[in-house]
Amino acid sequence: MDELAVLRALHRPGVIVDVGAHDGALTVPLAGLPGARVVAFEPLPPAFARLRAAVAGLAVELRPQALGVGPGRLWLEAPVIGGILREQWASVAKDYAAIAAADPRVERIERWEVEVIALDSLGLSDVTAMKLDAEGAEEEVLRGAEATLRRCRPVLTVEIEERHRAGSTVAVPAFLAGLGYRGFFELDGAWRGIEEFDPATMQVASVSPASFEASDPYVFVFAFLPEEGIREGGLRLP
């Protein structure tokens, strides 16, 4: 699924929350949408430095915190493989000690202590969209954003992977369904309801960041739309 195409098609002026902005590959084009202001979260220090440079002069508020259910501090960890820090695997949720013990290709784990806040603590009143890539911490991020989701009813794109957290492809959609959201994924050029998603055939991959084999198809990006927007015909996937 092309997250940017979905967010462009469903765009309404307001705040776009980019969770896991990394170095700004989506942050920059999202900031260029009409009437958009992006609040971008990226707790990984080397990625945050590149993100700051990428968004200079744009309508982007940068946040170096991780998002979760409430205030605190957590260890953000990322693996080193072949001498390269695999930033895209940085997570506050994964058990990298166990993964490294099971796979000697994981040479070491880099760690950073990061601040955690709940999105609800910001009191945002005009959130129209949210992109979420939290490497296994999706449910905590969404629980910490529950009041914002209920108040603003933004469109969501969420990366959910069993290899990052077992059971997450069930738990995250169930939580959002309780808030009146319906999930969708794209496969073979067609949109399907999330009830058709089968992780046993559509999302098979190793938990180790040193293993690159994956099932074909490998579906991991989902769109969630508020039920009332679908009923009223105002929200249509591209």
Average pLDDT estimate for 95-111: 96
Per the CB < 8 A criterion, the answer to whether 3 and 157 are in contact is yes
State yes or no: pLDDT of 234 exceeds 70: no
Mean pLDDT over 92-104 rounds to: 95
Q: What is the pLDDT of residues 5-45, one digit of tens each?
A: 999 999 999 999 999 999 999 999 999 999 999 999 999 99
Report the pLDDT value the prediction gives residue 109, as an integer from 0 to 100: 97
Which residue would you say has higher pLDDT here, 212 or 25? 25
52 has pLDDT over 70: yes
CATH 3.40.50.150 matches 3-229: yes
Helix, strand or coil, per DSSP, at residue 8: helix
* pLDDT given for residue 202 in this prediction: 97
> Which residues on neighbouring strands pair with residue 17, listed in sequence order?
39, 130
Q: Read off the pLDDT band of 237 (50, 70, 90).
A: confident
CB 44 within 8 A of CB 112: yes
pLDDT cut 70: percent of the chain above it: 99
The whole-number average pLDDT for the span 139-145 is 98
CA–CA separation, 92 vs 74, rounded Å?
Answer: 7
Q: Is the pLDDT of residue 103 over 90?
A: yes
Spell out the residues 6+ positions from residue 107 whose beta carbon is closer than 8 angstroms to its own: 79, 80, 81, 82, 83
Q: Are 38 and 60 in contact (CB under 8 A)?
A: yes
**Burial class of residue 106 (count of CB atoms within 10 Å of its CB; 0-12, 13-18, 19+):** buried
Token pair of 181, please?
């959201």
3-state secondary structure 158-210: EECCCCCCCCHHHHHHHHHHHCCEEEEEEECCEEEEHHHCCHHHHCCECCCCC
Rounded CA separation 74/79 (Å)? 16
* Residue pLDDT, tens place only, 164-193: 999 999 999 999 999 999 999 999 999 999
- What is the identity of the amino acid at 77? E
Stretch 39-64: mean pLDDT, rounded? 97
CB 63 within 8 A of CB 40: yes
Task: Calculate the average pLDDT of the chain.
Answer: 96
* pLDDT of 231 strictly over 80: no
- By DSSP bridging, strand 155-159 and strand 221-226 are antiparallel
Phi, psi of 220 (to 5 degrees): -140, -5
Question: Dihedral of CA 10/11/14/17: which sign?
Answer: positive
